[in-house]
Structure 1
Amino acid sequence: MLKISGKTIIKLNVNGENKEVVAKPSDILLNTLRDELGLTGAKPGCENGDCGSCTVLVDGWPIKSCLMLTVEAIGKKIVTVEGLENAPIQKAFVENWGFQCGYCTSGFLMVCHALASIHPNANDHVIEQWLQSNLCRCTGYEEIKNAIKSILSNN
């Protein structure tokens, strides 16, 4: 079992690269990604898990990085929006106008990317369930739904 007290150098796998960061036991992944690694795509919003603007993928699953301690990510594969590298969902968001102000976009991109990977034949009900994890204050939900539907196998 890993014991951490005070500031400790830990190793994280982020966007396919091994990185060393300085973390305290109480540091959240969102702040580590932004402040230690300069990956600012995950956005601080509510910082209590409601909005989803901080969503990243951890071992392929969408996780709200404001709710995960950095030390919990040791040994896991983290992907941020910077690591998508021209994934089909990014083009689909542009083509379907799946963004307005853009603040929530990175979180929605991560959720939709994971949805397409995990449920490539998702129906409307599954899409609705997955999109409930994130909030868009500009109410761009229809465009976001159209974007994810455009890349799923059953469309």
Structure 2
Amino acid sequence: MMIEFRVNGESRTVEADPDTPLLYVLRNDLGLLGARFGCGLGLCGACFVHVDGHPVPSCDTPIWSIEGRAVTTVEGLTPHPVQQALLDEQAAQCGYCVTGIVMTAAALLAREPHPTAPAVAAALDRHLCRCGAQQRMVRAVVKAGEGDD
């Protein structure tokens, strides 16, 4: 099946089985490696991308559901204030989860420019960071929101 959609502002057409996960198309067909395979169930957050501005797990989003929609990956988001804030707070240790966290944090800041720490923690709740850097990540996202003043 031919699927047409926009990726990082560019029109793309891919041929894929309609049930192929968006993550596989992004990584294997389009060479966009920022979203990572973690659990394959949409639970860990490593694969999050934006679909029409909303963070979604790309590992369990079938490509058929993306027809005609806009997908943004971390490659299309850069540069973003949350990325610099994560660096400043030394919040990215191994980095495996970070791209998904960046995508969710960017969506949060788009709808709530100055979030509180509890709001950030709630937004990032679906993301699993095995390094234990969650508190630094929350601080970084709050800091990114403060930088718009």
Question: TM-score interval w.r.t. the shorter chain?
Answer: over 0.9
Structure 1, unpaired ranges of 5+: 1-7
Contact 2:89 2:139 in 1 (8 A): yes
Contact 2:114 2:142 in 1 (8 A): no
How far the C-alpha of 1:133 sits from its partner, in A, is 1.3
Q: Which of 124, 133, 139 pairs up with 2:126?
A: 133
**Separation (CA, whole Å) in 1 of partners of 2:10 and 2:133:** 33
Structure 2, unpaired ranges of 5+: none
Q: Percent identity?
A: 37
The ranges of structure 1 where at least 4 consecutive aligned residues each deviate by more than 6 angstroms after the TM superposition are: none
* Equivalent position of 1:27 in the other structure: 20
Show the 5 A alignment for 1:71-82: 71-82=64-75
**TM-score with structure 2 setting the length:** 0.94
Show the 5 A alignment for 1:86-101: 86-101=79-94
Q: Which of 106, 109, 115 pairs up with 2:108?
A: 115
Contact 1:22 1:36 in 2 (8 A): no
* Equivalent position of 1:151 in the other structure: 144
Greater helix proportion? 2
Q: Which of 14, 37, 44 pairs up with 1:51?
A: 44
- How many residues of Structure 1 are paired with residues of Structure 2 in the alignment? 148
**Separation (CA, whole Å) in 1 of partners of 2:71 and 2:82:** 18
Give RMSD over aligned pairs: 1.4
How far the C-alpha of 1:148 sits from its partner, in A, is 0.2
* Letter aligned with residue 16 of structure 2: A
**TM-score with structure 1 setting the length:** 0.91
* Letter aligned with residue 40 of structure 2: E
Q: Which of 4, 7, 11 pairs up with 2:4?
A: 11
How far the C-alpha of 1:121 sits from its partner, in A, is 2.6
**Separation (CA, whole Å) in 1 of partners of 2:101 and 2:120:** 12
